Structure 1
Amino acid sequence: MSADRALSELPGVGPQLAGRLAGLGLVRESDLLFHLPLRFEDRTRLTPLNQVRPGTGVQVEGRIVHRDIRYGRTRMLVATLADDTGQISLRLFRFYPSQLKLFSEGQRLRCFGEVRLSPGGLEMAHPQCQSLKDGESPPLPDSLTPVYPTTQGLGQARLAGMIAATLSRLKSGQLDLVELLPEDHPAIGLRDALTVIHSPPPGEDLEALTEGHHPAVQRLALEELLAHHLALARVNRARAQQRAPALSDPHGKVAQLLAALPFRPTGAQLRVIEEIRADLSREMPMRRLLQGDVGSGKTVVAAAALVTATAAGHQAAIVAPTEILAEQHFRTLSEYLAPLGIEPVWLAGKVQGRARTEALERLAGDAAVAIGTHALFQKAVAFRELALVIVDEQHRFGVHQRLALADKGRKGTHQPHQLVMTATPIPRTLAMTAYAGLDVSVIDELPPGRKPVTTVAASQQRRGEVIERLVRALREKRQAYWVCPLIEESEVLEAEAAETRSQELARQLTEFRVGLIHGRMKPADKQAVMAAFSAGEIHLLVATTVIEVGVDVPNASLMIIENAERLGLSQLHQLRGRVGRGSDQAACVLLYKPPLGETARARLEVMRETTDGFVIAEKDLQLRGPGEVLGTRQTGALRFRIADLTRDEALLDRVEQLADRVDGQQARQLIERWIGPAEQFVDVG
Structure 2
Amino acid sequence: MSPVVDFDTPLSKVVGKGHVKLGKELELHTVRELLFHLPRRYEQRGSLTDIRSLEADEQVTIQARVLSVRSRRMRNRPGSLLEAVVTDDSGGTITLVFFGKHSLAWLERALTPGRWGLFAGKVSDYRSGRQQVRQLAHPKYELLDEPEDRVAEDFAAELIPIYPATKEVTSWELSKAIRMVLDVVTMPPDPLPAAIRSGRRLADLGAALRDIHRPTSWETLAPARRRLKWDEAFAVQLTLVQRRRRAEAWPATPRPYQAGGILDAFDARLPYELTGGQQAVGEQLAAELAQSHPMHRLLQGEVGSGKTVCALRAALQVVDAGGQAALLAPTEVLAAQHYRGVAELLGPLGRAGELAGDTDGTQLALLTGSLPAAARRRALAAAASGEAGIVVGTHALLYDQVAFRDLGLVIVDEQHRFGVEQRDALRAKAEQPPHVLVMTATPIPRTVAMTVYGDLTVSTLRELPRGRSPITTHVVPAAEQPALLARGWQRAREEVAAGHQVYVVCPRIGDTEPEEAPGPESESADESRRPPLAVLEVAESLAAGPLSELRVRVLHGRLPADEKDAVMRAFAAGEVDVVVSTTVVEVGVDVPNATMMIVLDADRFGVSQLHQLRGRVGRGSAPGLCLLVTEAEAETPARERLAAVASTLDGFELAELDVEQRREGDVLGAMQSGRRSHLRLLSLLKDADLIAEARTEAEQLLADDPELTEHPGLAAVVEALVDEERAEYLEKT
Using the size of structure 2 for normalisation, the TM-score is 0.67
Tell me whether 1:252 sits opposite 2:289 in the alignment: no
Residues 491 and 519 of structure 1 are in contact (CA less than 8 Å); yes or no, is this contact kept in structure 2? no
Q: What is the aligned counterpart of 2:598 among 560, 570, 578?
A: 560
Residues 181 and 223 of structure 1 are in contact (CA less than 8 Å); yes or no, is this contact kept in structure 2? no
SS at match of 2:259: coil
Aligned counterpart, 1:404: 425
Aligned counterpart, 1:628: 663
**Taking structure 1 as reference, are residues 576 and 179 closer, same or farther at Cα in structure 2, changes over 3 Å only?**
farther
C-alpha separation between the residues in 2 aligned to 1:28 and 1:564? 44
C-alpha separation between the residues in 1 aligned to 2:187 and 2:343? 54
Q: What is the aligned counterpart of 1:484 among 475, 492, 506?
A: 506
Tell me whether 1:288 sits opposite 2:325 in the alignment: no
Tell me whether 1:421 sits opposite 2:421 in the alignment: no
Aligned counterpart, 1:457: 475
SS at match of 2:305: coil
Residues 393 and 420 of structure 1 are in contact (CA less than 8 Å); yes or no, is this contact kept in structure 2? yes
Tell me whether 1:274 sits opposite 2:321 in the alignment: no
1:177-188 aligned at under 5 Å gives the runs 181-182=191-192, 185=197
C-alpha separation between the residues in 1 aligned to 2:37 and 2:329? 30
Structure 2, unpaired ranges of 5+: 1-7, 12-18, 74-81, 95-118, 145-159, 352-361, 508-517
SS at match of 2:503: strand
C-alpha separation between the residues in 2 aligned to 1:215 and 1:325? 49
Shift of 1:457: 1.7
Shift of 1:521: 5.0
**Taking structure 1 as reference, are residues 547 and 641 closer, same or farther at Cα in structure 2, changes over 3 Å only?**
farther
Q: Deviations over 1:26-73 (max 9, x none)?
A: 999989997989x7799x99x99xx964667779999999xxxxxxxx
Aligned counterpart, 2:364: 344
**Taking structure 1 as reference, are residues 62 and 52 closer, same or farther at Cα in structure 2, changes over 3 Å only?**
farther
Which of 649-658 and 589-598 deviates more? Answer: 649-658
C-alpha separation between the residues in 2 aligned to 1:441 and 1:488? 31
C-alpha separation between the residues in 2 aligned to 1:27 and 1:381? 44
Q: Which amino acid aligns with 1:404?
A: A
**Taking structure 1 as reference, are residues 326 and 85 closer, same or farther at Cα in structure 2, changes over 3 Å only?**
closer
C-alpha separation between the residues in 1 aligned to 2:376 and 2:171? 46
Aligned counterpart, 2:688: 649
The one of the two structures with greater contact order (alpha-carbon pairs below 8 A, sep at least 6) is 1
C-alpha separation between the residues in 2 aligned to 1:375 and 1:611? 35
Q: Which amino acid aligns with 1:533?
A: F
**Taking structure 1 as reference, are residues 313 and 454 closer, same or farther at Cα in structure 2, changes over 3 Å only?**
same
**Taking structure 1 as reference, are residues 454 and 470 closer, same or farther at Cα in structure 2, changes over 3 Å only?**
same
Q: Which amino acid aligns with 1:628?
A: R
Aligned counterpart, 1:466: 485
SS at match of 1:420: strand
Q: What is the aligned counterpart of 1:232 among 235, 240, 245?
A: 240
Which of 445-454 and 244-253 deviates more? Answer: 244-253
C-alpha separation between the residues in 2 aligned to 1:32 and 1:568? 34
Q: Which amino acid aligns with 2:716?
A: Q
C-alpha separation between the residues in 1 aligned to 2:627 and 2:324? 44
Shift of 1:389: 1.0
C-alpha separation between the residues in 1 aligned to 2:423 and 2:370? 20
SS at match of 1:458: strand
SS at match of 1:409: coil
Q: Which amino acid aligns with 1:252?
A: G
Q: Which amino acid aligns with 1:401?
A: Q
Shift of 1:431: 4.5
SS at match of 1:269: helix
Which of 368-377 and 242-251 deviates more? Answer: 242-251
Which of 383-392 and 422-431 deviates more? Answer: 422-431
1:88-127 aligned at under 5 Å gives the runs 112-113=122-123
Residues 488 and 627 of structure 2 are in contact (CA less than 8 Å); yes or no, is this contact kept in structure 1? no
Shift of 1:578: 1.5
Shift of 1:284: 2.7
Q: Deviations over 1:260-292 (max 9, x none)?
A: 234433232223222212222222322222111
Q: Which amino acid aligns with 2:623?
A: Q
Using the size of structure 1 for normalisation, the TM-score is 0.72
Shift of 1:390: 0.9
Q: Deviations over 1:192-246 (max 9, x none)?
A: 978998x999x998xx9xxxx9656544432221122212331343234223222
Q: Which amino acid aligns with 2:503?
A: Y
Q: Which amino acid aligns with 2:270?
A: L
Q: Which amino acid aligns with 2:663?
A: E
C-alpha separation between the residues in 2 aligned to 1:550 and 1:35? 42
Aligned counterpart, 1:356: 376
Structural RMSD (CA):
5.3
Residues 240 and 731 of structure 2 are in contact (CA less than 8 Å); yes or no, is this contact kept in structure 1? no
Tell me whether 1:501 sits opposite 2:538 in the alignment: yes
Q: Deviations over 1:79-119 (max 9, x none)?
A: xx987899x999xxxxxxxxxxxxxxxxxx997438899xx
Residues 495 and 518 of structure 1 are in contact (CA less than 8 Å); yes or no, is this contact kept in structure 2? no
1:197-236 aligned at under 5 Å gives the runs 218-236=226-244
Percent of paired sites with the same residue: 35
Q: Deviations over 1:453-483 (max 9, x none)?
A: 0111221222432232333333432322233
Shift of 1:565: 3.6
Tell me whether 1:571 sits opposite 2:609 in the alignment: yes
Residues 488 and 494 of structure 1 are in contact (CA less than 8 Å); yes or no, is this contact kept in structure 2? no
Q: Deviations over 1:379-432 (max 9, x none)?
A: 332211111111111233334332322221134xxx211111111112357646
C-alpha separation between the residues in 1 aligned to 2:489 and 2:625? 10
SS at match of 2:293: coil
Q: Which amino acid aligns with 1:344?
A: L
Shift of 1:250: 3.0
Shift of 1:316: 0.9
Aligned counterpart, 1:377: 398
C-alpha separation between the residues in 2 aligned to 1:333 and 1:312? 19
**Taking structure 1 as reference, are residues 546 and 187 closer, same or farther at Cα in structure 2, changes over 3 Å only?**
farther
Tell me whether 1:616 sits opposite 2:644 in the alignment: no
C-alpha separation between the residues in 1 aligned to 2:51 and 2:422? 52
Q: Deviations over 1:630-682 (max 9, x none)?
A: x5346999998443344223434366557739645445434433444287489
**Taking structure 1 as reference, are residues 465 and 162 closer, same or farther at Cα in structure 2, changes over 3 Å only?**
same
Structure 1, unpaired ranges of 5+: 5-9, 66-80, 91-108, 149-155
Which of 331-340 and 422-431 deviates more? Answer: 422-431
**Taking structure 1 as reference, are residues 311 and 357 closer, same or farther at Cα in structure 2, changes over 3 Å only?**
same
**Taking structure 1 as reference, are residues 220 and 318 closer, same or farther at Cα in structure 2, changes over 3 Å only?**
farther
SS at match of 1:237: helix
C-alpha separation between the residues in 2 aligned to 1:618 and 1:28? 37
SS at match of 1:251: coil
**Taking structure 1 as reference, are residues 489 and 317 closer, same or farther at Cα in structure 2, changes over 3 Å only?**
same
**Taking structure 1 as reference, are residues 614 and 463 closer, same or farther at Cα in structure 2, changes over 3 Å only?**
same
Aligned counterpart, 2:552: 514
Q: Which amino acid aligns with 1:653?
A: E
C-alpha separation between the residues in 1 aligned to 2:421 and 2:93? 52
Shift of 1:586: 1.0
Residues 330 and 346 of structure 1 are in contact (CA less than 8 Å); yes or no, is this contact kept in structure 2? yes
C-alpha separation between the residues in 1 aligned to 2:423 and 2:223? 36
